[in-house]
Amino acid sequence: MAKKLKQIAIYGKGGIGKSTTTSNLSAALSDMGYKVMQFGCDPKADSTNTLRDGTYIPTVLDLLREKGTVKAHDAIFQGYNGIYCVEAGGPAPGVGCAGRGIITAVQLLKQQNAFEELDLDYVIYDVLGDVVCGGFAVPIREGIAEHVFTVSSSDFMAVYAANNLFKGIKQYSNRGGALLGGVIANSISNDYQRAIIDDFVEKTNTQVMQYVPRSITVTQSELSGKTTIEGAPTSKQATIYRELAKRVDEHATSKTPEPLDSAQLQDWASKWADQLLAIESGEVRGEAAAI
Partner 1 sequence: MSIALKNTTLDECFGGDYAWSEQQRVACAIGGVYTALAIERVLPIMHSGPGCQGNINGVLASTNGGQNADSFLESVIPSTNFCEADVVFGGQERLRRLVEDSVKYYDADLFVITDGCTSEIVGDDIEEIANDYRGTDTKVVHAALPGFKGNNVWGHSQILHAIIDQYLPSAEEAKSISKNPKQVNVFGVVPFYDTFWVATLEKLEELLRDIGFEPNIIYGRDKGLAAVDKIPAAGFNLLLSPWIDLDVVKKLEEKYETPFFHYSAMPIGPSETGRFIREITEYAGTDRIAAEAYIKKQEDRYYYYLNHSLRWIYTCRVQPREFFINSSATQALSLTRYLVNDLGFIPRQIFINEDVPESEHERILADFHDLDWKGASDIEVIFTADGGLCDQYVKRSDTSFRKTVILGTTWDELTAKTSRIPFVPVSAPYGDVIVGQKTYFGYDGGLALMQDIFNDAAAKGMGTVN
Ligand X SMILES: Nc1ncnc2c1ncn2[C@@H]1O[C@H](COP(=O)(O)OP(=O)(O)O)[C@@H](O)[C@H]1O
Residues contributing to the site for Mg ion (CB under 5 A): 18-19, 42
Compute the distance between CA of residue 58 and CA of residue 52 in angstroms, rounded to an integer.
Answer: 12
In the list ligand X, Mg ion, partner 1, none, the entry touching 214 (Cβ below 5 to 8 angstroms by class) is ligand X
Interface stretch with ligand X, choices 97-105, 177-185, 215-223, 254-262 (CB under 6 A): 215-223
Nearest to 226 by CA among 54, 30, 40: 54
Size of the site for partner 1 (CB under 8 A): 12
DSSP-derived secondary structure for 181-242:
EEEEEES--SHHHHHHHHHHHHHTT--EEEEE---HHHHHHHHTT--HHHH-TTSHHHHHHH
Taking the complex as a whole, how short is the minimal distance between the CB of residue 175 and ligand X, in angstroms? Answer: 27
Compute the distance between CA of residue 140 and CA of residue 148 in angstroms, rounded to an integer.
Answer: 7
Burial 216-241 (b: 16+ CB within 10 A, else e): ebbeebbeeebbbbbbbbebebbebb
Q: Which of 19, 26, 163, 173 binds ligand X (CB under 6 A)?
A: 19
241, amino acid identity: Y
Annotated catalytic residue 44: yes
Annotated catalytic residue 130: yes
Q: Which of 6, 9, 20, 123 binds ligand X (CB under 6 A)?
A: 20
Among residues 42, 62, 126, 130, which one is catalytic? 130
Compute the distance between CA of residue 21 and CA of residue 53 in angstroms, rounded to an integer.
Answer: 16
Compute the distance between CA of residue 136 and CA of residue 102 in angstroms, rounded to an integer.
Answer: 7
Taking the complex as a whole, how short is the minimal distance between the CB of residue 75 and partner 1, in angstroms? Answer: 14
- By beta-carbon proximity to partner 1, the closer residue of 2 and 92 is 92
Q: Under rule CB under 8 A, which residues in 59-88 are in contact with partner 1?
A: 61, 64-65, 68
The answer for residues whose C-beta is within 8 angstroms of residue 175's C-beta and 6 or more apart is: none
- By beta-carbon proximity to Mg ion, the closer residue of 18 and 226 is 18
Task: Confirm or reject binding of residue 19 to partner 1 (CB under 8 A).
Answer: no
What Cα–Cα distance (Å) separates residue 191 from each residue in 40, 64, 198?
32, 47, 10
DSSP-derived secondary structure for 51-67:
GTTT-----HHHHHHHH
Interface stretch with partner 1, choices 30-38, 94-102, 204-212, 230-238 (CB under 8 A): 94-102
Interface stretch with partner 1, choices 29-37, 57-65, 149-157, 191-199 (CB under 8 A): 57-65
- By beta-carbon proximity to partner 1, the closer residue of 105 and 124 is 105
Among residues 31, 44, 46, 191, which one is catalytic? 44
Number of C-beta neighbours around residue 277 at 10 A: 11
- By beta-carbon proximity to Mg ion, the closer residue of 40 and 259 is 40
Annotated catalytic residue 155: no
Q: Which of 1, 2, 92, 263 binds partner 1 (CB under 8 A)?
A: 92
Among residues 6, 13, 35, 226, which one is catalytic? 13
CB 52 within 8 A of CB 100: no
Annotated catalytic residue 246: no
Compute the distance between CA of residue 103 and CA of residue 137 in angstroms, rounded to an integer.
Answer: 9
CB 126 within 8 A of CB 139: no
Interface residues with partner 1 (CB under 8 A) are 61, 64-65, 68, 91-92, 95-97, 100-101, 104
**Binding residues vs ligand X (CB under 6 A):** 12, 14-20, 186-187, 212, 214-215, 218-219, 222
The catalytic residues are 13, 18, 44, 130
